[in-house]
Amino acid sequence: MKTAVVMVLLASMPVLAAEIDASSGLVKSPGWEQVRAHCGGCHSHALVTSQRADRQTWLDMIRWMQATQNLWQFDAATEAQILDYLVANYPPQPNRRRAPIPPSLMPGTPEPLQ
Ligand code: HEC
């Protein structure tokens, strides 16, 4: 019974339910095998998963690696799959920093004088 409740909760939380590939750290969603195959040979996949960008910026990074880092060319279908995957799973996040800690929760907050 409890298990069923947990399963329903997990299923309704897609972000938590997203499966992560243990060896690459990539989110397992459509296109991830292409990214595993093409994007981990020169640097860690962590460089990919720690990046956030829109489609054009992902494409710019790929073009930069192709122009300067010997990244190979992709056929159009493969490139589209890779970009679809990157934008779906690692989209831009304008504010990735946490909110400031409220002063009342900071250490050493002086007690009000009685
Ligand atoms: C042929 C080698 C090679 C392959 C394959 C490769 N990269 Fe890179 N990539 C590099 C190099 C070199 C750098 C620069 C690393 C550094 O700055 O330390 C880089 C940097 C990056 C960065 C950081 C860019 C930045 O501005 O900080 C990202 C993100 C990235 N690559 C994503 C990818 C993705 C996505 C793929 C697959 C489509 C890929 N890489 C495949 C060589 C490669």
Q: What is the pLDDT of residues 41-58, one digit of tens each?
A: 999 999 999 999 999 999
Q: Which residue's alpha carbon is nearest to atom 19 within ligand 1?
A: 65
User: Is there an atom of ligand 1 within 6 Å of 87 CB?
Assistant: no
pLDDT, tens digit (0-9, with 9 covering 90-100), for 61-101: 999 999 999 999 999 999 999 999 999 999 998 777 788 88
User: Is there an atom of ligand 1 within 6 Å of 83 CB?
Assistant: no
Does residue 15 surpass a pLDDT of 80? no
**Has this prediction a pTM greater than 0.75?**
yes
**Predicted local distance difference test score (pLDDT) of residue 98:** 82
Please report, for residues 68, 93, 109, the alpha-carbon distance to residue 113 in angstroms, rounded to integers and kept in the order given: 63, 43, 12
Do 46 and 21 meet the contact criterion of CB atoms below 8 Å apart? no
Q: DSSP 3-state assignment of 93?
A: coil
Residue ranges of domains in the chain:
16-94
User: Is there an atom of ligand 1 within 6 Å of 38 CB?
Assistant: yes
User: Is there an atom of ligand 1 within 6 Å of 65 CB?
Assistant: yes
**CATH number of the domain located at residue range(s) 16-94 in this protein:** 1.10.760.10
